[in-house]
Every structure is written in structure tokens, then in C-alpha cells.
């Protein structure tokens, strides 16, 4: 996904045109394999619903991380407000798609307000409204906070995200307070999340090719120079912040439908850190890096679950230790960051040419190592 366009980024290099057809074919083949895989997974042939759920979460986290990549990595504005925008999207979507009688039953402490009970929308409209509402709030918050820079901006957005959460906790007749919302229809299946993620990736990718996108990047690289070139800093920062808010709201709505239960506690600032982790691991400023890292982190945490239940490596038996999974996971992340200081992709995008070069380089390096090893052995 997304790779078919990224190819163009390398076209100006010598010999690239001869690879053009090969790359197109590779992209087409990958896409077909991916769609067939999704189809088989959806039919329950190669994955059970546990596996499908992980793939759905991968899509949701890709969109959430993409929202942070756009504002942090591509526009250079260190914002940590994603959790609040996701909360807005999640609550709006859930309240729009739960049937009125179910809602009424759920609000057993503070009676639900009439208009909240009666509002209804189809799923597609609901997630879009969730995203738009988050974008609107981002627009309003943007006026004061986007005048700040760097760490101050991070603190201000984090603060606003907490304010959103506290408001949600206290407006019981609309949001059911800290009891949270349950029985959210499970509409966001594997197609919904994957197609939404693909569309969002395309949107951000296309956006970065426009003059707006280039303006974002110039603001990231040097604000003063960008302003000197006649770029309106505030206008472009605001645009990036609002689109980022929309994406976060959208991912929140999808998340609510995938998980089925939401409560204010989930949208604490720790959620923003989790998304930040995805962005940093993937490489700040890389869209494909975000996608790869979102899937790696979501699936990796689940895959490592076997560590929690005790296992044996040869003669050594490791007893049941709950939490070992997260420890190993953190250690692995540290190793990755040690080797790839700018994240897996840095600020580059995936391309077939890049992949082949990587394979060639690794092959050459291995050969050299082996040769050196042989020499060393001979010298001894």
C-alpha cells in the first residue's frame, strides 16, 4: 500500500526507468496477495477472530499514528493531543451507532439526555462526523496552542487532551461519566479498518506532494526560512493540526467499534505516548515507516504473549512471569532504536528499489564478513 506512488520518488536516479515495469508488477502482485490474504482472513480460513482482531487494530493504530506523523514528523510541531481527539471521535461514533434503547439502559446513574439518546447515523457517517468534530475541536484549540513552539506546544496539547478527558468524565448525561460506553456495534470489520487506513495513507501521501505539503516540510526544517519565503506559518500549522485531529478522531471511532467498550480512562496521556512510540520507531516523517511500525508494535505485543505463560529454551525452563512480555518488548524496542537511531525508515519512504539495494548491501556485507572470518581463521 502506498508503495506504488513512492516509487516515483526514486525515479530521478540512473537506471530507475528500467526498473519501472518491474516495480509496477511487484506492487500489483503484492496488492493482489494482500487482498487475497484479507479475504481469506475475513472468511476465517487462515486466521481465527483473534488474528483478525489484531489486523483490525493494526489498521486503527496506523491511522492514529499517521495523524501524529503528519503533525510531528512532517510539519515538525511536537503535539501530544492525539488521545483527546481520539476520545472525541470514539464517543461521537459510539453514541451515533448504538441503538437508542441500548443507550438508555446503559446510563443507569445519570439519565441520558434526549438528544443524545435519539441521535443516530450509519457507520460511515458516524466515523466521519467523529473525525470532523475532532477536527473542529482541533481548530478551536489551535488558535491558542499553535502560537507555541517545541516543548511548550507539547505540554499545551497534552493539557488540552487531558481537559477533553476530564470534561468527558464529568458530563455524565452525555458520556455516561467514568462508567463508559459498552455494546458498541462491531461494524468495523477487517475491510473497514484496512480500507480506511489505505485511504488515509493515500490522503497524507498526496497531501505531502502538494504545495501545502512542501510548505509543511519547510516549516519543519526551518520556520524562519519558511516565513521568509512567504509561507504563512500559522495557516499551515493550523491546516496540519486540523487534518491530524480529523485522522485521530477517525481512528478513535474505528477503535471504539473494534473494541466494543470505551471509557475516559483509556484516553489518558499514556495513549499519546503509545502512539508516539509507533511514530518514533517507524521514523519521524515517514508514512510507510508509520504503517510498518504500527503493525509491528500491535502484532508484536500479542505475539510475545507466549513469554508470559512460562516456556523452555532447551534445558532452561522459564517459569510463569506475568509482564515478561512487556519487558522483552521494551528491550527489543531499545535494541531497534540503538541500531536505527532515526527509526526504522528515518524520513525515507519504502520503495522497491530501496528494498533491492538493501538486500544487495546486506548480501555484500555478509560476504565481506565471511571472507574476513576466513582470513582470521587462516591467520591463526
Partner 1 sequence: MKRMVSILLSLLLLIAMAGCSTGDTANNGGSTNNGGTSDDGGSSGGDSDAIKIGIFQPLTGASAAGGEYETRGIELAHSLYPEVLGRPVELVKVDNKSDVVEAATAAARLVESEQVDVVLGSWGSSLSMAGADAFEESQTPAITISATSPNVTLGNEYYFRVCFMEDFQGAALATYAAQELGATKAAIIYEITNDTCVGVRASLVETFESLGGEMVGEASFSVGDQDFNSQIMAVMAGEPEVIFIPGNYTEAALCISQARALGYDTSFMGTDIIDVPAFLEVGGSDVNGTVTSTFFDPAAPTTDVGEEFMEAYSSTYDDSPSALSALGFDAYLAAIRAIEAAGTTDGPAVKDALYALEMDGATGALRFDDNGDAIKNQVVLKVAQDGEYVYYDTVEVNLE
Determine whether 360 is exposed, middle or buried from the number of CB atoms within 10 Å of its CB (0-12, 13-18, 19+).
exposed
The residue whose grid cell reads 482482531 is 53
Give yes or no for a contact between 352 and 6, defined as CB atoms under 8 angstroms apart: no
Minimum distance, C-beta of residue 148 to partner 1, in the bound complex (Å): 25
Find the binder of partner 1 among 177, 187, 202, 347 (CB under 8 A): 177
The angle subtended at Cα 11 by Cα 9 and Cα 14, nearest 5°, is 135
Find the binder of partner 1 among 20, 53, 217, 342 (CB under 8 A): 53
374 binds partner 1 (CB under 8 A): no
325 binds partner 1 (CB under 8 A): yes
102 binds partner 1 (CB under 8 A): yes
Binding segment for partner 1 among 11-19, 167-175, 217-225, 357-365 (CB under 8 A)? 167-175
Query: In whole angstroms, what is the distance from residue 243 CA to residue 288 CA?
Result: 18
Phi/psi at 317 (nearest 5 deg)? -105, 125
Kindly give, in sequence order, each residue whose CB lies less than 8 Å from that of residue 82, ignoring residues fewer than 6 positions away.
Answer: 64, 67, 68, 161, 244, 248, 271, 272, 275
16 binds partner 1 (CB under 8 A): no
Minimum distance, C-beta of residue 305 to partner 1, in the bound complex (Å): 7
175 binds partner 1 (CB under 8 A): no
49 binds partner 1 (CB under 8 A): yes
Find the binder of partner 1 among 163, 265, 364, 366 (CB under 8 A): 265
Query: In whole angstroms, what is the distance from residue 22 CA to residue 233 CA?
Result: 41
Number of residues written out for the chain: 380
Binding segment for partner 1 among 65-73, 123-131, 255-263, 355-363 (CB under 8 A)? 255-263
Q: Per-residue x/- marks for partner 1, 54-93, CB under 8 A?
A: x--x------------------------------------
Our CB check for partner 1 shows the closer of 55 and 231 to be 55
The angle subtended at Cα 21 by Cα 15 and Cα 26, nearest 5°, is 110
Kindly give, in sequence order, each residue whose CB lies less than 8 Å from that of residue 43, ignoring residues fewer than 6 positions away.
Answer: none
Q: What residue ranges bind partner 1 (CB under 8 A)?
A: 48-51, 53-54, 57, 102, 105-106, 108-110, 166, 169-170, 172, 177-180, 182-183, 186, 255, 258-266, 301-302, 305-306, 308-312, 319-328, 331, 335, 338
Amino acid at each position: 500500500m502506498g508503495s506504488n506512488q513512492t516509487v516515483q520518488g526514486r525515479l530521478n536516479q540512473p537506471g530507475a526507468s528500467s526498473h519501472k515495469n518491474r516495480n509496477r508488477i511487484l506492487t500489483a502482485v503484492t496488492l493482489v496477495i494482500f487482498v487475497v490474504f484479507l479475504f481469506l482472513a475475513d472468511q476465517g480460513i487462515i486466521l481465527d477472530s483473534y488474528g483478525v482482531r489484531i489486523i483490525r487494530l493494526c489498521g486503527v493504530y496506523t491511522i492514529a499514528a499517521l495523524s501524529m506523523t503528519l503533525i510531528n514528523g512532517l510539519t515538525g510541531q511536537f503535539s501530544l493531543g492525539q488521545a483527546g481527539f481520539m476520545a472525541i471521535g470514539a464517543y461521537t461514533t459510539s453514541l451515533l451507532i448504538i441503538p437508542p434503547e441500548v443507550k438508555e439502559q446503559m446510563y443507569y446513574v445519570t439519565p441520558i439526555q434526549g438528544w443524545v439518546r435519539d441521535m443516530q447515523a450509519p457507520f460511515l457517517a458516524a466515523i466521519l462526523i467523529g473525525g470532523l468534530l475532532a477536527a473542529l475541536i482541533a481548530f478551536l484549540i489551535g488558535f491558542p496552542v499553535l502560537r507555541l513552539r517545541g516543548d511548550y506546544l507539547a505540554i499545551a496539547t497534552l493539557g488540552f487532551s487531558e481537559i477533553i478527558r476530564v470534561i468527558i468524565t464529568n458530563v455524565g448525561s452525555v458520556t455516561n461519566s467514568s462508567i463508559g460506553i459498552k455494546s458498541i456495534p462491531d461494524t468495523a470489520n477487517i475491510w473497514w479498518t484496512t480500507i480506511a487506513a489505505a485511504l488515509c495513507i493515500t490522503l497524507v501521501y498526496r497531501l505531502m506532494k502538494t504545495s501545502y505539503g512542501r510548505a509543511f516540510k519547510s516549516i519543519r526544517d526551518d520556520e524562519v526560512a519558511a516565513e521568509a519565503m512567504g509561507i504563512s506559518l500559522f495557516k499551515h500549522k493550523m491546516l496540519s493540526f486540523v487534518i491530524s485531529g480529523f485522522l485521530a478522531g477517525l481512528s478513535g471511532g474505528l477503535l471504539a467499534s473494534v473494541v466494543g467498550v470505551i471509557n475516559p480512562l483509556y484516553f489518558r496521556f499514556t495513549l499519546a505516548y503509545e502512539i508516539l512510540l509507533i511514530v518514533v520507531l517507524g521514523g519521524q516523517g515517514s508514512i510507510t515507516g508509520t504503517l510498518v511500525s504500527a503493525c509491528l508494535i500491535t502484532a508484536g505485543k500479542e505475539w510475545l504473549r507466549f513469554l508470559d505463560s512460562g516456556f523452555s529454551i532447551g534445558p532452561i525452563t522459564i517459569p510463569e512471569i506475568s509482564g515478561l512480555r512487556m519487558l522483552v518488548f521494551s528491550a527489543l524496542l531499545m535494541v531497534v532504536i540503538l541500531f536505527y537511531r532515526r527509526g526504522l525508515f528515518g524520513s525515507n519512504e519504502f520503495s522497491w528499489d530501496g528494498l533491492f539495494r538493501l538486500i544487495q548491501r546486506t548480501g555484500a556485507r555478509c560476504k565481506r564478513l565471511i571472507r574476513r572470518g576466513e582470513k582470521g581463521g587462516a591467520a591463526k
